[in-house]
Structure formats: structure tokens, C-alpha cells
Amino acid sequence: MKNNQTSGIRRLSVYLLSCFIFFAFVAGVSSEPKPLTEDTFIEVSDLTLPAVVSIEVKKSVETPMGRGRFKNRNEMRKFFEDRGMNPNEPIFPFFFFNYPDEDAEIEVPASGSGVIIREDGYIVTNYHVIANAKPGNISVKLNDDSTIDGENVEVWGKDTFSDLAVLKIKSDKKLPALEFADSEQVKIGQWVVALGNPLELKGSVSQGIVSAKHRVIGKAVIEDLLQTTAAINPGNSGGPLVNLDGKIVGINNAIASNTGLWQGVGFAIPSNTVKTVCESIIDTRNPSRGWLGIHMSDVTPSILNYYGLKDVQGVVVAKVLKDSPAEKAGLKPYDIVTKVDGKKVTTRLELLQQIAPKKPGSEIKIEIYREKNKKAKQMTLKVVLGERPSEEELNENPADTKEPAEKESVFEDMGLRLKEKDANSKEPGLEIEEVQKDSPAAKAGIKAGDWILELNRMKVNSLDEFHSVLAEIKDEKNILVMFSRGNEIMFSTIEK
């Protein structure tokens, strides 16, 4: 996927369509081309519409008050009192109108589309269609106008990487389902038909052509999208994309527009991606994704300078998870990953995009630079990828509960004031309370609120350790610093 394929897209806003539509790609997948007649699209519509569904969702969102200046009445009352005003005056109930007593959530309706892919009730849609919906808050309307809702609709699984989700509905009847076509066989210029629920207009059909392939628009981690001229609008998300045989070649999920409505450019997730993800979710309730098991940071000029490298792109390994594929392969913190199976890696996202689509158990080759005595050595490691844990498992790490203690220390030569964490905290590192303006630390991009984890690859979990490490590297002109900012681990060098 080349940069010039995305340059035009960047000039437009890209909208995910929380109303969903069905794209039908024609031509290019049949063994013999079909002549295009007046009846062509009638036949495709008759064949496919019975399997297209409308999805209604109640999503939990923060109240407008919670997003504004005041979260509740007590906060507003305090605001007036602090300014010498009496909130008990008769005029103030006007200000308090509709403000909740406590922080609150409200449920707002949203709609989209989907398509039945198995007769026993499995439906594919976009993840963003059902995101933030609580159990029981999703209803599915079939093409015959019957509605299935409540406990009879279940989110069977989701894949945030590709913006796909699978629903399972309970029905006492055999449901019409569509098959997947091979999206690799789709040709630019071939006809397509889009069906779905645009602007809540159920059972709508539009036609167009495939105008491009392999588009990346930056709305999902894994993207290799089809572009189409078939008219799609808000409400189309999750609808199928079919060919003249009535087989799915894509699931539409976004448009590029200056207005939020269709301007001739829409995007769909290719059927081969959809099929692979759906099969995995139906079988295991989770998408099957390759997994390396590292935390990483982008390469910076200061890192390259420390390693004695020039013009090298890649990502720095910040942490290797225990018992992960990376650990078993010998990958270590501070390694710089530059290629995966011969393909360049320039950012963390690119590494994720190369690893995630691969099958667990597959072997890959990773090219790295490893520092030894401030010299970088090129190496190639073979890694057998594991199964990526679910998002819930990956987020099981306890929240950052570091609480600063009384003890503090100033390091004037670096321009830092540090503070130790609470004695009961198991979190690593030292909190940076202050960074002096124009100091070596400030020039290295380090900020107050960051946490220093290591100096020159040596852990610093206390002020005593910090002093000890500084004494050990007192003759070093450049100090390699590993630090955290929020949930990110970063690297820089401090020049003494």
C-alpha cells in the first residue's frame, strides 16, 4: 500500500457510517461475464435483500453535562459560591435545569446494517455499530419486518482491529444467508451494488463500480479497503458488498466526505478479511491474531545517536512479556526491530499491522539491531507467533496507582526534581516532579509527570538506585533514558 494511495484521502474527512449499507460488487468473480441489462440489478436485489438486516442500538454515552464545564449540580453550586453568589436565589434553578444530581450516563439510539452469513443466525456488521451497547440493547429487524431483540440478540464476538463484529440471533425459522466471494478476484472498474439502511431507509439499494483497492484511511488498525462509487450514507455501516452473483465481496464501513454525506467515495472491508475474522469469532468468540508479546516505542534520533546508527527506521523494544513468543525467540529490551519477513518496519503501528494478520503458530523472521558496548549489531531472529490475547486480558494490568511520597531529590546537572513512589506501590520507576527550562532533560523531551524507569539500561526504582547508577556512569556524556508517559514507554538521551 503506497503513500500516494492515501494522500487524497487525507484531504477529506473520513466518516464511519453508524447507519449501514450493503455493497454488491459485480463482475470479475463469475466464471463468465454476465451481460448488463435492466434486469441485472433487479435480480441481484431480489437475491440479496432477504439476508440484509437493520440494526438498532441503544448506546451508553456520557451526559452533555459531564462533557461540559460542570458535571453535576454540586459542582455548579460550588462555582457560584466561590464567586460570592448565593445559589439559593430564585434565578439559579434556571441554571440548574436538567443538570443531574450526580454524574450520569444516558442511552442514545443509533442504527446500522448487517448481513446474515449463516442460516443458524450469525450476522456480520461493523464493530462501531454496536460499540458501547449494553446486553439487551440491540435489536435486529429482518427484511420481512420481524424484529428480534432483548436476550435473543447476542454479541458473539468482535474485532476492533478490523472494525468487525458478529451477532447471533435466536430464530425458530431458517434464515436466508449470503455466501462470501473471493475479494482477491475483484477488479477495479467492475460493477457493484450496495444494500442496507442508509438514513434509516430500510432495504435501500445503490449501484456503482469498484474505484480502487488497497486503501488505508486510518480508521482501524488492520486496513486494506475496497473503494467504491456506490452511494452510501450514514446508516450503511455493516451492510454487505455483493457481486452480480449475489455473493459478498465487502462490508462497507466508511465514506470520505467534506459534508458527512456521500460524495462518491465509499469504503468496504474486503470479503476475504471478513470471512477469516468471522470464522474465527464464530468458532472461538475471538478473532485469531498473531502476537509477538512486546511493548515498543518508535525510534528517535537520540536513540540512533546512542547506538551509533544513521538513517535507520524501526521500533525499539521497551519490554518483553514473560513466556511470550518474543521472549522464547530471544528478543530483548532495547533491540531495534527494522524488518519482518523482509518488509520494513518504521512505526509501532506498522509492526502491529504486519504481525496481527498472521496466523498463530506461523514462523516469521525479524531483523533487529542489538546494542553492545554502544555498538549496534545486526541480527535475524526466528519467531513462532502466539495467539493474541483478548482485549480484556491485555487490559488486566492494574491501573497506575503510583502515589508520591515525601522524599524528593534535585539533580541540577540534569535539570530534574524526582520523587519516589509510595512505599506500598509495586509500580517501577521514579516520578519526575519538575523539569527545569532549557535543561538537558528538557532538551531531551522529558516532561514533568513522566516516570523514569531506567538509565543506560539499569533500573532505577529508588533515589538510592538513581544515585548509584549516576555514580557508575559519571563519565558518560550521553545517558540513555527509558521513561513512561501515560501508557506509553519512551526513550531519549540526556546530554550531560
Residues with catalytic function = 128, 163, 237
In whole angstroms, what is the distance from residue 329 CA to residue 405 CA? 39
In whole angstroms, what is the distance from residue 253 CA to residue 111 CA? 13
Question: Helix, strand, coil: what percent of the chain each, to 5?
Answer: 20, 40, 40
Where on the phi/psi map is residue 19: left (φ > 0), alpha (ψ -120 to 50), or beta? beta
Q: What are phi and psi of 432, to 5 degrees?
A: -90, 110
CA angle 5, 353, 239 (to 5 degrees): 70
Residues near 2 by Cβ (< 8 Å), separated by ≥ 6?
A: none
Q: Which three cell numbers stand for residue 440?
A: 538537558
In whole angstroms, what is the distance from residue 132 CA to residue 241 CA? 25
Identify the burial level of 177 via C-beta atoms within 10 angstroms of its C-beta, where 0-12 means exposed, 13-18 middle and 19 or more buried.
middle
Name the residue with cell 437475491. 47
CA 335: distance to chain centroid?
25
CA 210: distance to chain centroid?
26
Contact (CB, 8 A) for 157 and 287: yes
Q: Pick from 122, 156, 153: which is nearest to 136 by CA? A: 153
Alpha-carbon distances of 407 from 276, 421, 473, rounded to whole Å: 55, 9, 24
